[in-house]
Structure 1
Amino acid sequence: MVPLLLVLLLILILFGVGFATEVLWYIALAVLVVWLLGFFFRGPVAGGGRSRWYRW
Structure 2
Amino acid sequence: MKLFLTIVEAFFVAAKLTGVVTWSWWAVLAPLWIYLAFTVLLLALYGVLTYIGEHRG
- Structure 2 length as normaliser, TM-score? 0.54
CA RMSD of aligned residues (A): 2.4
- Higher-Rg structure is 1
Greater than 6 Å deviation, 4+ residue runs: none
Q: Which runs of 5+ in 1 are unaligned?
A: 42-56
Question: Unaligned regions of 5+ residues in structure 2, if any?
Answer: 1-16
TM-score relative to the length of structure 1: 0.55
CA distance in 1, matches of 2:32, 2:55: 34
* Structure number having the greater helix percentage: 2
2:38 corresponds to which letter in structure 1?
Answer: E
Q: Which structure has more RCO (C-alpha within 8 Å, separation ≥ 6)?
A: 2
